[in-house]
């Protein structure tokens, strides 16, 4: 968390040429945001997603600096945004939007799109697993259901 806060400050002061005191103030203001950004080091987590591409990390830092996240809770969904190019494009649009409230709405749209895609992917994955099981089940020989047969499906009385 401290590393991310320092990285945020360095990025804005060194690369974006912003005021050091403003960056430090925002680091303190967004303390909870950095806590959320630091969660999930393993694949699929927020921190893992942030570390996959500097361009994504800098996009998040820019949005944070410009107060375009409405809540620290939104940070949790960034792990779903990173692999979704449409959602990332929405975040870029939010970064470019000068009106903070309009940009916050675009951030909401990005997060909603990422969650929707994730839900669809999970559903597709479930359908695939179910189909594989049904195919396996349909190929079982009839004797697999006879009591006493070697390798038979066990039947238990309730």
d(CA 19, CA 99): 21
Find out whether 47 and 38 touch, Cβ atoms under 8 Å: yes
Predicted confidence at residue 45, as pLDDT, reads: 85
pLDDT tens-place string over residues 86-123: 889 999 999 999 999 999 999 999 998 888 876 545 54
Predicted confidence at residue 148, as pLDDT, reads: 72
And the tokens for 107?
């951030």
Average pLDDT for 25-41:
92
The answer to whether residue 154 scores a pLDDT higher than 70 is: no
Predicted confidence at residue 141, as pLDDT, reads: 78
d(CA 110, CA 85): 10
pLDDT tens-place string over residues 42-85: 887 899 999 999 999 999 999 999 999 999 889 988 988 987 88
**Helical residues (DSSP H) of 2-156, grouped into ranges:** 2-10, 20-29, 31-37, 46-50, 54-65, 78-81, 85-96, 100-138
């Amino acid at each position: 968390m401290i590393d991310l806060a320092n990285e945020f400050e360095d990025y804005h002061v060194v690369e974006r040429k912003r005021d050091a005191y403003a960056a430090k103030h925002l680091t303190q203001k967004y303390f909870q945001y950095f806590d959320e950004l630091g969660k999930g080091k393993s694949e699929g987590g927020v921190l893992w997603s942030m570390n996959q591409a500097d361009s994504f990390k800098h996009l998040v830092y820019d949005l944070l600096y410009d107060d375009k996240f409405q809540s620290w809770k939104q940070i949790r969904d960034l792990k779903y945004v990173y692999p979704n190019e449409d959602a990332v494009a929405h975040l870029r649009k939010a970064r470019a939007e000068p009106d903070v409230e309009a940009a916050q709405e675009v951030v909401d749209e990005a997060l909603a799109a990422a969650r929707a895609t994730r839900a669809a992917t999970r559903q597709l994955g479930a359908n695939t697993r179910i189909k594989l099981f049904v195919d396996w089940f349909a190929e079982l020989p009839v004797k697999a259901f006879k009591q006493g047969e070697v390798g038979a499906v066990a039947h238990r009385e309730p």
